[in-house]
Structure 1
Amino acid sequence: MTAVTGTPAAARQNPRRWWALGALVASMLVLGFDMTILNVALPTMAGQLDADTGEQQGMADAYVVVFAALMLPAGLLGDRFGRRRMLMTGLGVFLAGSVLGALAHDVSLVVAARAVMGLGGALVMPLALAVLPALFGPGERTKAVGVVSAAAALGAPLGPVVGGWLLDHFWWGSIFLINVPMAAIGLTACAFLLPETRDPSSPAVDVLSTALTAAGLGALVHAVIEAPARGWGDPLVLGTSAGAALLLTALVLRERRMTRPMLDLALLRDRGFCLHTLAATLVMFVLSGLMFVLPPYLQAVEGNDAFGAGMRILPMMGGLIVAAKGAEPVVRRFGARAVISGGLVVLAFAAILGSRTDLHSGYGFTALWLSVAGLGFGFAIVPAMDAALGALPVERAGSGTGLLMTVRQVGGALGIALLGSLLASAYTRGLDTGGLPGAPADAAGESVIAAHAVAERLGSARLAASADAAYVHGMGLVLLVSGVAALVAALLVAALLPRSGDGPAPRPAMGTAEDDARQ
């Protein structure tokens, strides 16, 4: 297909653009699945692979950390060498990682597979959004962004449902194998339906900056994961945290000196763009932490199998569907600022309500606050993403979207790490292992799933009850912190976003007229 460098009208009037949008939706659904599909399988995998809480967090975070660390260079690669080409490359890499995960037989191989999938996802996520300006004009772009964002968001609550059904019928490797046909369909559709777009003048990928990003984020998340077991004053935790701070500081200083930086800090100086990005990031922080702590509660404490646990997360998807469909007219009526801050308040209310869960609450209470959380998530994320994307110059669509999605995914990684660590600390402190020999006591302290296995083996109903109480207490703390984070984000958006609520005006695409003239 002919490559285009601006947003020529011919590309926007392509009658196949809605079919192309379908290909992007399929790609984003796959990525959405893999943000959460592993969570419902972690209890099963923990038992079969003998993985403690830290190793479970490592399997969950490997995907997200690599994803976040490499989206900036991935966006630049798309700008420079062609967004369709790099999007297809990302889907191919994602497919290969999924095959590796399906064949894995220990924790290290699962982590490696998730990292490879994260590399593929880093290419797919920003470029799936970056090609939209070449397909749709301003009047249609909001709808297209909403559809693609909703696809990624819907994949998250749908992941545990799909994963639970697979675990009930097949082995745990099937949660990786399901990606293969989905990625293949997306790859084929992109090849035939998407136009090629690029910006040959975009800056080259900076290998050193890429290395600083990956190493800094990896060190930061590793320190947070290790802190509950070792203590925040442990030399390894302190050293890793300090190393992360130095690496990320070096990245910022290097990028500020570059004429065409990979990390475009000028975009973050734009108040509207920065606040919309912050809102999307904190929403991901809350959602990722919630999706990490909920499946073990539904399985171990409530006694559901994997599929049953996944089905019980569906109320969140119901709320999200309602919000995704209703966001556009509500934004037109009240403005993005009011809708985003209102969505964050609703999300905060849902999380704080969920923090009141106890051992006798029952599923009806859980379904209630999950439905409310889905509404809040949808009304916050769709207008925030659309307004942030609307601020990007077209010729920097790949790298600018990469920055937006990097910051957002860092929020997801830290949500799993920080909130997972808070849960682990609270669970360990609350668990009563008195009277147990050393090895069983240590095993029970690793996770609520392991505690139930030990309790069943020893016939100790007291240990199972203690594990349930400790886990519910830890989950309540996680949800309370999540609610406070969402409320703080709502206040920041309401107080600091421009009064119009529509964020910054789209930046002019430098060189677009010349690019169009060359077509």
Structure 2
Amino acid sequence: MHDQTGHPRRWPILGVMVFSLLAIVLDNTILNVALKVISDPVAGLGTTQSELEWAINSYTLVFAGLLFTFGVLADRYGRRRLLLIGMALFGLASLASAYAQDPGQLIAARAAMGLGGAAVMPATLAVISNVFPPRERAKAIGIWAGGVGLAIAIGPITGGLLLEHFWWGSVFLINVPVVLIGLVLIAVLVPESRAPGRSGLDPVGVLLSIAGLVGVVYGIIKGGELGTVTDPQVWAPTLAGVAVLALFVWHERRTAEPAFDVRYFAIPRFSTAVASVGLVFFALMGVMFFMAFYLQIVKGYSPLQAGALVLPFAAAQLIFSPLSAQMVRRFGGKAVATASLLVIAGVLLSYTRIQVDTPIWVFEVIGFVQGAAMANINPPATEAVMSSLPREKAGVGSAMTNTVRQVGGALGVAILGSVLSATYRDGMAGTLSALPEDVRHAAGESIAATMGVAQQLGPQGAALVEPAKQAFMDGMHVTAILGAIVALAGAAVVFRWLPGKEAKDSTEARPEAKEPAVV
């Protein structure tokens, strides 16, 4: 393939990559709509809030921990091959999730889905970088990111429709036909490609990264569940996780074939873009966690209606993601990213003005602005990362970007979800004091648990409903403020260190790129 002209089938190949990504993003957006149903002890699995957090984070931690390795494997053994393997694993794990019989099985099946997703995600971006010439790459990545917006739009509506007519497992079963179609398209249209040479694997680094992240996230979620940070069940795994992550960094700096090459962080464009992605997803995922409960429990909408109410956010992604490359060319990556992060911080702060009786159109306007700002963060940051590295490192560069995104999102769900849980429990302490001891703690863990107890108590439980809604809103406001602070930190990082419009690309700071071998 000639570097300046690209692969002759590059646009159909881009379509296949977007479709392949669709299944992974679709699943996560569908899951958000299904959280309330899965937590129902009759219609779902009766999961607690901490178990719901683990159902999300078991996926993201495995996904994040293995992206490095699968990026290297894709570069070494072939990107199409890894795409096919990853899609097949994802489909089988989706099948297992659909028929999980208890929260533990669901958490394990979701972890297996993360394994498949980790093989698919870096390969899609690596294929795009391989088949498109540099002059078209930013546009292609913008369309790829627009596909994420499409999945965000389709996911909640699809989930709502499925939950209206079928059991909760259908939200995972829907992945299977998407995966089957994707496998056929990949086999027919996508050319095999791999990097020249043979990069080494780093199993020690992979194990250290997963163990460290699991320890930290476990401690954080346990803190929200127990409502304290002084219990050894909270601080012991958290400190152990931090120590293991420190050992991971030490190992990566010294190994000859690191999974996560920290030397790339010497490139300002790379490190700043990666940091901005991690911070914005920390803020976004932590805040989005409460949206399903706000719409379905506080406001009383059905899963289908809740899915439809996400459409403004998704529509903004679809509209603005393909245009983001033009925005960056006109104003520069620093200006676009800084402004977008400031808008996201303002949006998150605006959630503190939402109350139980706030008209839903206000929520819709906020969602549209948030989607537009997000659309102008991901494509420029992703392009900045990919253009900072040699083309033969495309798979690893994609893996590093998505790892930071997933880790940021997982920590956002864990930390902000725990803050929400602790704030809610404090707000409900007085109201729940009249309940029997054996149900008081369970009822105070989340608004879904409180509503379940209220339903069981009948007329006597009606007195719990309004205090529960108000306590949830208080927790939502605290969570939104913390998310806004993180987004502001991201804006400061980008403004300080991301090269401006006139700054030259730091290609001289990286190794000379070699032409990838295309089979």
TM beyond 0.5: yes
The equivalent residue for 1:63 is: 59
Q: Which aligned pairs between 1:136-285 and structure 2 lie closer than 5 A?
A: 136-156=132-152, 158-230=154-226, 231-285=228-282
Shift of 1:235: 1.0
Counterparts of 2:503 and 2:160, CA distance in 1: 40
Structure 1 equivalent of residue 121 of structure 2? 125
Q: What is the CA–CA distance in structure 1 between the aligned matches of 2:382 and 2:441, rounded to whole Å?
A: 44
Counterpart mapping for 1:294-373 below 5 A: 294-373=291-370
Deviation readout 1:152-181 (Å, 9 max, x if unpaired): 344245422221221111100001111011
Tell me the percent identity: 36
CA distance in structure 1 between the partners assigned to 2:504 and 2:58 by the alignment: 33
Q: Equivalent of 1:286, from 277, 283, 294?
A: 283
Q: Secondary structure at the match of 2:377?
A: helix
Q: Distance in 1 between matches of 2:406 and 2:262?
A: 17
**Residue in 2 that maps onto 1:21:** 14
Q: CA RMSD in A?
A: 1.9
Q: Is the 8 A contact 1:83 1:196 kept in 2?
A: yes
Shift of 1:78: 0.6
Give the direction of change, closer, same or farther, for the CA distance of 1:12–1:216 in structure 2 (3 Å limit).
farther
Q: Does the 8 A contact of 1:387 with 1:502 survive in 2?
A: no
Distance change (3 Å), C-alpha of 1:503 and 1:424 = farther
1:512 aligns with 2:514: yes
Residue 207 of structure 2 aligns with an amino acid whose one-letter code is A
Scaled by the length of structure 1, the TM-score of the pair is 0.94
Deviation per CA, 1:481-518, whole angstroms, max 9, x where unpaired? 111211221122112222337784446764726x67x9
> Which residue matches 1:498?
499
Alpha-carbon separation, structure 2, partners of 1:200 and 1:140 = 23
Inter-partner Cα distance in structure 1 for 2:27 and 2:507 = 32
Give the CA deviation at 1:200.
4.9
SS, match of residue 131 in structure 1: helix
8 Å contact 1:215–1:244 — kept in the other structure? yes
Partner of 2:25: 32
Instruction: Report if aligned partners of 1:342, 1:380 keep a CA contact under 8 Å in 2.
Output: no
CA–CA distance in structure 2, aligned partners of residues 477 and 376 of structure 1: 22
Take 2:210 and 2:193, find their aligned partners in 1: how far apart are those partners? 27
Distance verdict in 2 for CA 1:55–1:159, change over 3 Å:
same
Deviations 1:178-229 (A, max 9, x none): 1011111111111111111112523222221111111111111111110123
AA of the residue aligned to 2:26: F
Q: For 1:402, give the aligned amino acid.
A: A
Compared with structure 1, are the counterparts of its residues 276 and 13 closer, same or farther at alpha carbon in structure 2 (3 Å cutoff)? closer
Offset, 1:323:
1.9
| Aligned-partner Cα distance in 2 for 1:244–1:195 | 41
Instruction: Output the CA distance in 1 between the equivalents of 2:373 and 2:278.
Output: 14
Shift in alpha-carbon separation, 1:472–1:496, aligned structure 2, 3 A: same
**1:419 counterpart SS class:** helix
> How many angstroms apart in 2 are the aligned matches of 1:504 and 1:11?
18
Instruction: Quote how far apart the aligned CAs of 1:400 are.
Output: 2.1
Q: Give structure 2 stretches of 5+ with no counterpart.
A: none
Note if contact 1:36-1:291 (Cα within 8 Å) is conserved in structure 2: no
Cα offset, 1:261, TM superposition = 1.7
Please say if residues 336 and 502 of structure 1, whose CA atoms lie closer than 8 Å, have aligned partners that are also in contact. no
The range that moved more, 441-450 or 216-225, is: 441-450
8 A Cα contact 1:34 1:156, kept in partner: no
C-alpha change, 1:169 and 1:506, in structure 2 (3 Å) is farther
Q: Give the aligned partner of residue 484 of structure 1.
A: 485
Moved more, 320-329 or 106-115: 320-329
Distance, in Å, in 2 between the alignment partners of 1:455 and 1:497 is: 51
Which of structure 1's runs of 4+ aligned residues deviate more than 4 A?
Answer: 506-511
Distance 1:164 1:347, change over 3 A: same
Compared CA separation, residues 504 and 235, structure 1 to 2 (3 A): farther
**Contact 2:225–2:445 at 8 Å: present in 1 too?**
no
The residue type paired with residue 486 of structure 1 is: A
Determine if contact 1:337/1:502 at 8 Å carries over to the other structure: no
| Structure 1 counterpart of 2:435 | 436
**Residue in structure 2 matched with residue 3 of structure 1 by the alignment:** none
Whole-angstrom distance in 1 between the partners of 2:299 and 2:109: 31
Listed as ranges, the gaps of 5+ residues in structure 1 are 1-7
Counterpart of 1:473? 474
Task: Flag the 1:394–1:365 CA change in 2: closer, same or farther, 3 A.
Answer: same
- Separation in 2 of the partners of 1:185 and 1:288? 29
Query: Which residue number in structure 2 is paired with residue 76 of structure 1?
Result: 72
